[in-house]
Amino acid sequence: MLRSFAVCRGTQAGDAPGAYSPVVSHLRQLSFVASNPTCVGPFPAFAEVTPGLGRRTRLGRVTNPLSAAPGAPLRLVVLVSGSGTLLQALIDAAGEPGFPARIVAVGADREGTLGVERAVGAGIPSFVVAPGTYADRAAWDAALAAAIASYSPELVVSAGFMRILGPAVLDGSRIINTHPALLPSFPGAHGVRDALAHGVRVTGTTCHWVDAGVDTGPIIDQRAVRVEPGDTEESLHERIKVEERALLVDVVRALAGQIQLDFAQVK
């Protein structure tokens, strides 16, 4: 049974609209998980601070692997929009003996992406569903859903796919995404820039289930990255990307039932 709880605090001068959005997000995620038995928890990852060790983030624990056939590799469709470095991390991992997942197709939202080139070079089937070739967003969403479904994936990975997915795709697939910040803080397209502008000392990367919002789905796992003196958006993002690639591979391993997620330490 899902237990509810209350967080009470008097309204104070200067409180911004949506100041309690992390709490609202947490309650929404609990509701989502209560009706989706393949999800993981806890959600979201609330930070713990240990003197001398910095910040740790509690990670999700996978309770129900996704692979339809016991022992069979988890079938992945990976969606890309750009250079495909996250895709390459999965391609490299899938080439290792015993990796519990197989990329059955790579999809893109435009022609000529390096991500699709990586797929072709690895002998992986690819497809392009470009929004500009459809009459409206709903038609594009339906076409993308059909293209994904044709490969019968058990999991879809949004790996730098810079489009908001519509109801046809969301209803037909279980989808994960990575984000270069510790959600629910700093969602959206500029997570690294926003973290720096806010002056945080620790940021990182999040892997989460995709829902209809922007970076609002239940959190699966997080990796923390310390902000160093003199960091620029580019230098910080490069260090986050290293963690993001490792995070994605570990999450796929966990969802395929090969490992159990545990705790992460600040890098």
**Residue list for the binding site for (6R)-10-formyltetrahydrofolate:** 137, 162-165, 177
Does residue 38 belong to any structural domain of this protein?
no
What letter does residue 136 receive in the DSSP assignment?
S
**Residue list for the binding site:** 137, 162-165, 177
- Tens digit of each residue's pLDDT (9 = 90 or more) over 101-134: 999 999 999 999 999 999 999 999 999 999 999 9
Does residue 40 belong to any structural domain of this protein?
no
Cβ partners under 8 Å of residue 52, min gap 6: none
How far apart are the C-alpha atoms of 219 and 124, rounded to whole Å? Answer: 29
Mean model confidence pLDDT for the chain? 80
Does residue 221 belong to any structural domain of this protein?
yes
Nearest to 88 by CA among 256, 207, 241, 258: 241
Pairing type for strands 54-58 and 175-179 reads unpaired
Positions annotated as catalytic residues are 179
Q: Count the alpha carbons within 13 Å of 12 in the hemisphere toward its beta carbon.
A: 6
How far apart are the C-alpha atoms of 142 and 188, rounded to whole Å? Answer: 24
How many CB atoms sit inside 10 A of residue 132's CB?
Answer: 7
* List of the chain residues with pLDDT < 70: 1-65, 67-68, 261-267
Cβ(188)–Cβ(216) below 8 Å: no
User: Containing domain of residue 202, as a range?
Assistant: 55-264
Q: What is the CATH number of the domain that holds 129?
A: 3.40.50.170
Does residue 224 belong to any structural domain of this protein?
yes
**Which residue shows structure tokens 């990670």?**
59
Does residue 250 belong to any structural domain of this protein?
yes
Does residue 41 belong to any structural domain of this protein?
no
- Residue 228 CB burial class (10 angstroms; 0-12, 13-18, ≥19): exposed
Does residue 249 belong to any structural domain of this protein?
yes
pLDDT value, residue 57? 38
Number of domains in the chain: 1
Q: State how far Cα 60 lies from the chain centre.
A: 13
Does residue 68 belong to any structural domain of this protein?
yes
How far apart are the C-alpha atoms of 36 and 170, rounded to whole Å? Answer: 13
Query: Which pTM does this prediction carry?
Result: 0.76
How far apart are the C-alpha atoms of 57 and 45, rounded to whole Å? Answer: 6
128 forms beta bridges with 108
